[in-house]
Amino acid sequence: MELNDLPRKGGEWLLGAGPESDIVISSRVRLARNVDGFAFHTRLSAEQQTRLERHLRRAVLDAKVVGNPIYINLNETAGVDRLFLVERHLISKEHSLGEGDRAVIFDRDETVSIMLLEEDHIRLQVLRSGLQLWDTWEKATQADDRLESFLDYSFSPQYGYLTACPTNLGTGMRASVMFHLPALQMSRQMDKVLHAVEKMRMVVRGLYGEGSQAYGDFFQISNQVTLGLTEEEIVERLSAVVPKILEYERNMREVLMKNDRALFEDRVWRARGILATARSINSEEAMSHLSSVRMGINLGILPEVGLGALNELFILTLPAHIQKLAGRELETAERDQKRAEFIRERLALN
């Protein structure tokens, strides 16, 4: 299966390229769509779901929304492979845990991915490296337009796109930016920032969406409101929040470098030392040290390691990735050893 080619590289969105890539990991737009003639997902019988899955698959492939597409039916996919897709941000956790025929279709760069029969019939996602919200949105809209010419979307003149959950009504759009905010986290300023962000009707989540913790000091900020705004207004509002967060983080980095330089340097150097030598490391600890190293490189404290290689490791060292890399299921202790080995090999820090 093509999945086996992926564990040694990340999607294009992990490149560490694009504007503000010292702090902004990625920009993302996702659209929720449903099609006429079928009930919402939860109301479908297994047979109806299978029929709809085929219908949607054909439309996506015929519309050529995704160039050189990889199609994966999750109902025929092992648990570790489904988790692998979650770790790569190609599907949601909910989608991996769903039932019956459901699928994901994505391109080899992993820029566009389309989940079939997640909460909605269609969840179209575009994910790009760095701060490129407008560009990301444009790509999503183009894909959506193309798909719409092959499918009858459920649309109400009053409410806009109809979605399984009313929080997605209207545009059905969520735009989000993934930030790396180690200095704010380290100085315990995140709560303040989160509070300010929530006042602007934005939602803050961890690396893996709802309910996921801020592992590795990653924070995803996205719009709360989908209804009563145009897609452009959503992108505009989110775009307006971003510079403030960049400024908070940059200021805090300066403050730390000025007031606690020794402590700060010690932290990033030790993180590097541990990653370079550990023989066993769990993914949470690995993330935390990778985060420190990432900041250390961005601040010129640590010698250069490609930002792309580093970004990738946040994903490639997750449990399913480590098991795909090994080519078999591993116990926790084995995973921790394999992870340490892979990090040493990848970063070649010694």
Residues lying near its own copies in the complex (CB under 8 A) are found at 262-263, 265-266, 269-270, 272-281, 333, 337, 340, 350
The nearer residue to its own copies, 210 or 284, going by C-beta atoms, is 284
Cβ pair 128, 110 in contact under 8 A: no
Smallest distance, Å, CB 295 to its own copies?
A: 14
Which CB atom, from 197 or from 302, has the smaller least distance to its own copies? 302
The smaller minimum CB distance to its own copies, of residues 32 and 343, is found at: 343
Give me the amino acid identity at 134.
W
Work out how close the CB of 276 gets to its own copies at its nearest, in angstroms, rounded to a whole number.
Answer: 6
Smallest distance from its own copies to CB 289, Å? 10
- Closer residue to its own copies, CB minimum distance, 20 or 265: 265
Residue 269 CB, nearest approach to its own copies (Å): 4
Q: How far is the CB of 87 from its own copies (least distance, A)?
A: 24
> Cβ 312 to its own copies, closest distance in Å?
22
Comparing CB distances to its own copies, the nearer of 177 and 274 is 274
CB of 68 or CB of 350, closer to its own copies: 350
Sign of the torsion formed by the C-alpha atoms of 201, 85, 143 and 38 = negative
Distances in Å between the Cα of 83 and the Cα atoms of 25, 86, 96, 139, 192 are 21, 5, 7, 26, 33
Choice between 88 and 335, CB closer to its own copies:
335
Q: How far is the CB of 82 from its own copies (least distance, A)?
A: 28
Report the residue number, 109 or 265, with the smaller CB distance to its own copies: 265
* Least distance CB 328 / its own copies (angstroms): 18
Q: Could you give the CA distance from residue 311 to residue 25 in angstroms, rounded to a whole number?
A: 8
Distance CA 154, CA 144 (A): 13
